Structure 1
């Protein structure tokens, strides 16, 4: 028998093919009595990958889904690897139903949960059902409105610290301004903010100190992967054991898990020591890490064990670092592309006065700032889609009649247990069907008149009719935290600096493949967005 460590590519392929044949037989037996609605959809382009590879390689998956929805209807089916399929929901009523039934009907597929558990542990991102409800309830106080009001000063402090460094760079640059990689600095401001606000720890990356967290996430670079590594990644959705093969991508993910777990463990131990010596204050006790320690030590129904506490730390570091820095970078990109909108935002912030707006004033007194943030999140959601698996049979209502594969016109579809269902977030957020003919344009002004516009987007629930934060019982717990930080940092930067691309507003922006795709200037090696930064007049 060939030892495991000597398995070659041919051995792996034989195992894959053998496993595929077995799963086909099992699936055939299991599906003989299935009664799900048979839907129209695009044909498969590959026996092995279906349309999975096409979606993964598309510059913008949202456009691909929009084209299919226009051709096959707002609810359709696409083939995936090895003749499997998944249902795509682009109908607002169906999408609202889907999100409302998360936790009870639509759960994360086993493979996704295995990947999350492998990377971050069995925390909120992994949990389902009562476990998810318990963990979310334990963390909710850290993200209350009262908590965000207290934390807003932390976000401003980080933004003003960033301003000091940029002022110094401009002082040492030519009159036309300093060339600054804005994404690099958005990473730092996001990490320092989540460190202080969430874990009572200053990573001091804005001051130039090395951070193992930033290094771990930066290492998760999926560009330049070999063919075998990419094939293994795509097939791991069907064959979870492939995630353990020593490919470059799998090694990177393993290194990330080890790095983040080590950092989270150090932060927890530091806080435990401080609590024993009564160094921490009441504010720290109400922080994310304070609540985690309470949940770890308590005897109530909300108690978490040590592995769950560690997992929450890992996920919150990811969410606080990756998603916020990406959204801030996209906002600066869009404002550099349209200097008139950047000037309009600066005028509003300047007219507000010299003081930083409070959390409540960010919306009530600065409507254009609110609009810029919403428009950025609409056009550039950090996650492109939500994919779940039906844990029981379900009937999904639709807002407009659907023509099935047999030609029948129906106002609901039957989804059988085990069916994979996807909501394409980017597609819904950017669709002309819902947002009008200028849906793919960066137009913050749309939010100022949305209440008076007869747009179908209003049929979508979510946060202000966009689903970038998801919806239902699994809506993003840190939504208010992220919005407050986004507005605080952006307001300070736009008040004090102007941003433009060295090669002009038509500079091409590409996608840097990482754990969450990042924007980059086309041609740059890595997630790099250089801009010319000057002091605002």
Structure 2
């Protein structure tokens, strides 16, 4: 018995010693040989000091990135969560382009993928490698130009429903069309979020959440709670702990973990039933020789997945279909609603620009109310909107100035040489003319979306200002920037770029048209600031715990209010 206890004690001691040695080696010794340490970078304060706050906080990050470029060049070494976490912060367009283009070398870290998967499953946001390729191949036909145009009448319908809801709010507050000068405070973030949820519900599932009118729908409540409470209001330390020790959420669930579990059960039951119903309808139609005419993304995904042109081994499971619809719900509603919210806030801050845009939009208003237009007439109206120059400029400028996705993280799956187009500043104070930077396997690369969108050396000294007219005469350096959309990183770039970019643009331009031709927006006396909580969200000063808010003063627009702005 004694010998057994002795052996057990020896084994435990040896294991602890081995684990301690491993931890010490990777924490203090291995980092000394990391080639990224040869790069210049900001100083570290304390053993566990890091640079995450100044790099990730949108209130500080523009000045931080500008200072880093001036002091340390365009490929900067920054510290992550500990001494073992040396990261590359590439502020060189060539370097960023290389990282985003080579998605098999630079993947999303397992930590990010585990967090996403724990919430919405392993859809295109979380999948990597052949799984991501297979899912993207199946989904791509659903996002064709033709299919996106077919969703235009749906977007107009929900935009008009939001308009009517706001008119109802204004009328109840005394701001009737007779008293057009009466302003009422409306939290545009709250209402636009509801409207985009409605849009993506119908466009994604063919399911009407009816969120503009009420919040009682079970599936809507499940999605909303999971995205707002579990994601944007989760506690940082507990979230990180749950990523590294996922069993803790099962053994000792906190309010966030219980909320996620409850919401996921509703989504699996209700949304899962929708998947099976649509799948059965498509199969039944094929048996009877009747093509399914549904245009929602779920139906298009299911039809694409059974297409004869797709090899059987390239098809995805019903579970993967549901995970990707969940992904569309998250990525398609939250990002677009925030982009619209920030655009309205910017236009409220610059009333002359708002008036100028309204004047342009009023030139294409049809004599027939939008709600009475045929689908073909609605699509024609949207085509006209898409070609309006100032609307296009305003949309681009808002997406440039405040991208909903502040930054992104990648991890090197192998040793790699990242090309550079600027001299490389080294930690010894010298500047090298080397053509690349070595990134060792396992190192994180911080992709600075906002930084390249706001770079003064590329966009000009007024890069931090809202100036839609800049798009009529862009600096030549802008052409060097990677980006799926207009040399902006807002929709990312490369194989993992945003598949729903076209749909997002349809929503933005349609909603701006409907809202600006019916309402006038101005600022309240409440201070609104940006915070990076998964996405860049608006908050009222000293009201962070109340969640995202963007209150604006809204009044009815009547035609005689039109002011011609040159």
Residues 406-445 of structure 1: matches in 2 within 5 Å? 406=428, 407=430, 409=432, 410-445=434-469
* CA shift digits 1:300-327 (9 cap, x unpaired): 2431113212211211110121111111
Q: 1:41 to 1:437 in 2, by over 3 A?
A: same
Q: Compute the displacement of 1:271 (Å).
A: 2.4
Q: Compute the displacement of 1:171 (Å).
A: 2.3
- Give the Cα–Cα distance (whole angstroms) in 2 for the partners of residues 268 and 133 of structure 1: 22
Residues 93-492 of structure 1: matches in 2 within 5 Å? 93-102=94-103, 104-174=104-174, 175=179, 176-210=182-216, 211-212=220-221, 213-220=223-230, 222=232, 229-233=235-239, 246-247=253-254, 250-251=257-258, 253-254=260-261, 257-272=264-279, 274-275=281-282, 284-294=293-303, 300-354=312-366, 358-364=381-387, 366-406=388-428, 407=430, 409=432, 410-450=434-474, 453-454=475-476, 456-462=477-483, 463-492=485-514
* CA shift digits 1:463-509 (9 cap, x unpaired): 11110100011110000011111111111100111111233xxx521
Q: 1:58 to 1:160 in 2, by over 3 A?
A: closer
Which of residues 541, 544, 547 is equivalent to 1:522?
541
SS in 1 for 2:411: strand
Report the aligned-residue RMSD: 3.1
- Give the Cα–Cα distance (whole angstroms) in 2 for the partners of residues 460 and 441 of structure 1: 19
SS in 1 for 2:314: coil
Q: 1:275 to 1:170 in 2, by over 3 A?
A: same
Q: 1:358 to 1:21 in 2, by over 3 A?
A: farther
Number of aligned residue pairs: give it. 511
TM-score, normalising length from structure 2? 0.82
- Give the Cα–Cα distance (whole angstroms) in 1 for the partners of residues 231 and 134 of structure 2: 34
Asked if 1 retains the 8 angstrom alpha-carbon contact of 2:58 and 2:532, the reply is no
SS in 2 for 1:498: strand
Query: After alignment, is 148-157 or 233-242 more displaced?
Result: 233-242
- Give the Cα–Cα distance (whole angstroms) in 1 for the partners of residues 453 and 188 of structure 2: 25
* CA shift digits 1:411-453 (9 cap, x unpaired): 3111121111111111111121221111111111111222xx3
Asked if 1 retains the 8 angstrom alpha-carbon contact of 2:364 and 2:384, the reply is no
SS in 2 for 1:81: coil
- Give the Cα–Cα distance (whole angstroms) in 2 for the partners of residues 349 and 437 of structure 1: 30
Asked if 2 retains the 8 angstrom alpha-carbon contact of 1:155 and 1:485, the reply is yes
Asked if 2 retains the 8 angstrom alpha-carbon contact of 1:48 and 1:81, the reply is yes
Asked if 2 retains the 8 angstrom alpha-carbon contact of 1:221 and 1:513, the reply is no
- Give the Cα–Cα distance (whole angstroms) in 2 for the partners of residues 85 and 267 of structure 1: 45
Asked if 2 retains the 8 angstrom alpha-carbon contact of 1:233 and 1:243, the reply is no
* CA shift digits 1:384-419 (9 cap, x unpaired): 112101112211111111122243502311112111
SS in 2 for 1:220: helix
Asked if 2 retains the 8 angstrom alpha-carbon contact of 1:81 and 1:238, the reply is no
SS in 2 for 1:336: helix
* CA shift digits 1:156-179 (9 cap, x unpaired): 111011111222222222331332
Structure label with greater radius of gyration:
2
Q: 1:260 to 1:523 in 2, by over 3 A?
A: farther
- Give the Cα–Cα distance (whole angstroms) in 2 for the partners of residues 59 and 263 of structure 1: 40
Q: 1:296 to 1:35 in 2, by over 3 A?
A: same
- Give the Cα–Cα distance (whole angstroms) in 2 for the partners of residues 242 and 379 of structure 1: 39
Asked if 2 retains the 8 angstrom alpha-carbon contact of 1:139 and 1:292, the reply is yes
Q: 1:436 to 1:56 in 2, by over 3 A?
A: closer
* Alignment-derived partner of residue 8 in structure 2: none
Asked if 2 retains the 8 angstrom alpha-carbon contact of 1:52 and 1:234, the reply is no
Query: After alignment, is 78-87 or 45-54 more displaced?
Result: 45-54
* Alignment-derived partner of residue 90 in structure 1: 91
* CA shift digits 1:46-90 (9 cap, x unpaired): 423522355456634343233222211111111122202110010
- Give the Cα–Cα distance (whole angstroms) in 1 for the partners of residues 441 and 352 of structure 2: 51
Asked if 2 retains the 8 angstrom alpha-carbon contact of 1:187 and 1:322, the reply is yes
Q: Compute the displacement of 1:330 (Å).
A: 0.6
Asked if 2 retains the 8 angstrom alpha-carbon contact of 1:337 and 1:500, the reply is yes
- Give the Cα–Cα distance (whole angstroms) in 1 for the partners of residues 191 and 31 of structure 2: 52
Unaligned runs of 5+ in 1: 1-15
* Alignment-derived partner of residue 502 in structure 1: 524
Asked if 2 retains the 8 angstrom alpha-carbon contact of 1:264 and 1:314, the reply is no
* Alignment-derived partner of residue 13 in structure 2: none
TM-score, normalising length from structure 1? 0.86
- Give the Cα–Cα distance (whole angstroms) in 2 for the partners of residues 315 and 471 of structure 1: 18
